[in-house]
Amino acid sequence: MNMKSILMGAACAFALAPAAFAERGSDGHVNIIYWQAPSTMNNYLSGGTKEQDAAALVLEPLARYDSGGAMVPWLAESVPTVENGGVSEDLKSITWKLKPGLKWSDGSAVTSADVKFTWEYCTNPDGGCASSNYFEGVETVETPDDLTVVIKFVEPKPFPYGPFVGAATPIIQMAQFKDCVGAKAQECTEQNFHPIGTGPFVVKDFRPNDVISFEANPNYRDPNKPAFASVTFKGGGDAQAAARSVLETGEFDYAWNLQLAPDVLASMEAAGKGTVIKGFGTSVERIMINLTDVSPDLGDERGTVKHPHPFLSDINVRKALSMAIDRALLTKIGYGETGKPTCNVLPAPDIYVSTANDDCLVQDIDGANKLLDEAGWAKGSDGIRAKDGVRLSVLYQTSTNAVRQKYQAAIKQWWNQIGVEVELRNISASVFFGSDPGSNDTFQKFFADVEMYTNNFNGTDPESYMASWTCAQIPSPENQWQGNNMPRFCNEDYEALVKEMSVTGDINKRAELAKAMNDMLMQNYIMLPITHRSSVSARSNTLNGVEMNVWDSEMWNIADWSRAK
């Protein structure tokens, strides 16, 4: 089977079953808590899930993925395929048709010009767009009329659903953002905090790293939705407090990313006020290895490819760090049945899962010590290894979270056993996953030797996700420290695999290429996957319509939420 035949048979007439709402706003207020607080409402300027989810209340794509992973039209009338004529026979273009009558929340018409502008905004080389990998291979975006968008690719694109599909690439209003392109993107505070959108809600008040107030969009396309008149989207605190606020006290209606031990969640759920919801998608808790030198002495060139890391450039050191980790034990302690130990950064769907790296599932402290001995890293009188005057001393950072701090403590102990000195740092999640290019504490800027967090991708095809580790995706001062390639990995062979996948149609060959990219990252120890995590959230038992979605934003269908009568 090839990708062209899949496109031919794609189901694109899927319609979401409407909820029986009395009228817009009739259910009053809903409270949502994301203990990692959003720092912007413009998710093009942040790679964080918290920003993407907050923005999903306001900004929408042409199509998205439903809770089962199927692609469904959103602002578009249908999903283009070869069969319906929306994808060209040569696979070099895709034509989207906007639903007629769409309005922005300010009452103005949504047109194809807004879609074209969104592409121009994200692909401007000076803008530092966090979602630029979704536009790989796009040559032009044309607008033959107000409702038609034609995306043309440089080469045949067997999977043309990167741009404008899923929560990572929503449409923004040209009239609002036309003066915010390139280097000016970060300066547009009003636009970034209060975007005009097509979604069910509009921003009433935005307080970065704290709380967002929303109210129902008076121009939303369904006159009976949303059922809620207003939303409080609260940030801050921690996962335990967030879980308690839904499951025990009932203060909030929805809590996201409950990174807690299973027994803790079960105890809270027993209070009877809420329900834990979960699902396995593509989320992997991983340690990223910094291949650049982050010494403050380097000034503006700190953390850039101009200066290789003094010891993590040695693959033997990176491999030894991986060998010393007991992934099974960490996963059992941290996640129980909601996690699986993994050796891959690409853990799903099944067709893309490699088995070539499974030796990492067995901890090998003795083997790690032997490897470092043979590589010339000798232990000193203090037990810390050194070579040519360079000590194996790492700064290990992550966000503040009870499970992550347990992981840090255990890994520090294991790395100490192989002669590596470890300093632990945990940073407020709102700052760590924030979008401020002036902060030295963001995961994009990565001014540490190693860092740990979870990431995933929209949908079920990994092409855009695997393109995250190309040279062009390296965060740097030149792109406002945006980009997805935190390790600063740059490899010609990897680039070639990315390019080959972008023009390959056969689904089995695409799977081989995806596995090859995964294996190159794993076998060069560019990142150290630890746990394949399920998404775990909680909803109030008085909240209807919630569908956990591991393939898109968890807020994907908030327009369908309602209060149980």
- Assigned domain for 494 exists: yes
416 burial type by CB count under 10 A (0-12 exposed, 13-18 middle, 19+ buried): middle
Residue 10 has pLDDT above 50, yes or no: no
How far apart CA 342 and CA 491 sit, in angstroms, is: 24
CA 182 to each of CA 56, 177, 187: distance values in angstroms, whole numbers, following the listed order: 23, 11, 10
Residue 316 has pLDDT above 60, yes or no: yes
- In this structure, are strands 71-73 and 63-65 parallel, antiparallel, or unpaired? antiparallel
In this prediction, residues 61-70 reach a mean pLDDT of 94
Per-residue pLDDT at 22: 63
* Domain hosting residue 323, numbered range: 281-378+450-531
Per-residue pLDDT at 262: 86
Dig out the tokens for 423 from the structure. Answer: 């300093």
In this prediction, residues 538-546 reach a mean pLDDT of 98
Write the CATH number for 303.
3.10.105.10
Per-residue pLDDT at 151: 98
Are the C-beta atoms of residues 451 and 528 closer than 8 Å to each other? Answer: no
Per-residue pLDDT at 48: 86
Dig out the tokens for 295 from the structure. Answer: 């010494």
- Assigned domain for 75 exists: no
Torsion angle defined by CA atoms of residues 247, 253, 256 and 262, in that order, rounded to the nearest 10 degrees: 10
- Assigned domain for 313 exists: yes
Percent of the chain whose pLDDT exceeds 70:
96
Model confidence over 402-442: pLDDT tens digits?
899 999 999 999 999 999 999 999 999 889 988 788 899 99
Are the C-beta atoms of residues 289 and 527 closer than 8 Å to each other? Answer: yes
Residue 530 has pLDDT above 60, yes or no: yes
Beta bridge partners, 138, equal 153
The number of CA neighbours under 13 Å toward the Cβ of 546 is 23
Are the C-beta atoms of residues 419 and 372 closer than 8 Å to each other? Answer: yes
Model confidence over 133-167: pLDDT tens digits?
999 999 999 999 999 999 999 999 999 999 999 99
What DSSP state is assigned to residue 16? P
E strands in 400-458: 421-427, 450-455
Number of residues in the chain? 565
Residue 1 has pLDDT above 70, yes or no: no
Residue 58 has pLDDT above 70, yes or no: yes
CA 268 to each of CA 1, 31, 163: distance values in angstroms, whole numbers, following the listed order: 47, 18, 41
Per-residue pLDDT at 16: 38
For residue 42, give every residue at least 6 positions away whose Cβ sits within 8 Å of its Cβ, in sequence order, or none.
Answer: 51, 55, 172, 191, 192, 195
How far apart CA 346 and CA 395 sit, in angstroms, is: 26
- Per-residue pLDDT band for 6 (boundaries 50, 70, 90) equals very low
- In this structure, are strands 230-235 and 211-216 parallel, antiparallel, or unpaired? antiparallel
Percent of the chain whose pLDDT exceeds 90:
88
What DSSP state is assigned to residue 497? H
How far apart CA 288 and CA 449 sit, in angstroms, is: 9
- Assigned domain for 91 exists: no
Task: Report residue 192: phi and psi, to 5°.
Answer: -70, -30
Residue 239 has pLDDT above 60, yes or no: yes
CA 156 to each of CA 225, 467, 496, 503, 513: distance values in angstroms, whole numbers, following the listed order: 40, 17, 16, 6, 17
Q: What angle do CA 291, 294, 295 make, to 5 degrees?
A: 135
What DSSP state is assigned to residue 321? H
Per-residue pLDDT at 14: 34
Task: Give CA 512 to chain center in angstroms.
Answer: 23
- Assigned domain for 368 exists: yes
- Assigned domain for 514 exists: yes
Q: Which of 233, 280, 279, 185 is nearest to 51 (CA)?
A: 233
Per-residue pLDDT at 5: 44
- Assigned domain for 341 exists: yes
How far apart CA 266 and CA 251 sit, in angstroms, is: 18
- In this structure, are strands 378-379 and 385-387 parallel, antiparallel, or unpaired? antiparallel
Model confidence over 256-291: pLDDT tens digits?
999 898 889 999 999 999 999 999 999 999 999 999
- In this structure, are strands 71-73 and 543-544 parallel, antiparallel, or unpaired? unpaired
Per-residue pLDDT at 505: 87
Neighbours of 545 (CB within 10 A): 17
How far apart CA 530 and CA 342 sit, in angstroms, is: 6
CA 336 to each of CA 145, 286, 525: distance values in angstroms, whole numbers, following the listed order: 53, 17, 26
Tally of domains within the chain: 1
- Assigned domain for 524 exists: yes
How far apart CA 385 and CA 416 sit, in angstroms, is: 10
Residue 66 has pLDDT above 60, yes or no: yes
How far apart CA 339 and CA 333 sit, in angstroms, is: 10
Could you please report the per-residue DSSP string of 218-252? TT-SSTT--S-SEEEEEE-S-HHHHHHHHHTS---
Neighbours of 427 (CB within 10 A): 19
Are the C-beta atoms of residues 212 and 38 closer than 8 Å to each other? Answer: yes
Per-residue pLDDT at 13: 34
Per-residue pLDDT at 47: 78
Are the C-beta atoms of residues 134 and 43 closer than 8 Å to each other? Answer: no
| Continuous segment of H or E residues that includes residue 438 | none
What DSSP state is assigned to residue 125? T
Per-residue pLDDT at 127: 87
How far apart CA 455 and CA 529 sit, in angstroms, is: 11
Residue 4 has pLDDT above 90, yes or no: no
What DSSP state is assigned to residue 30? E
CA 430 to each of CA 233, 397, 399, 407: distance values in angstroms, whole numbers, following the listed order: 14, 14, 8, 20
Model confidence over 335-391: pLDDT tens digits?
998 999 999 999 999 999 999 999 999 999 999 999 999 999 999 999 999 999 999
End-to-end CA distance of the chain: 48
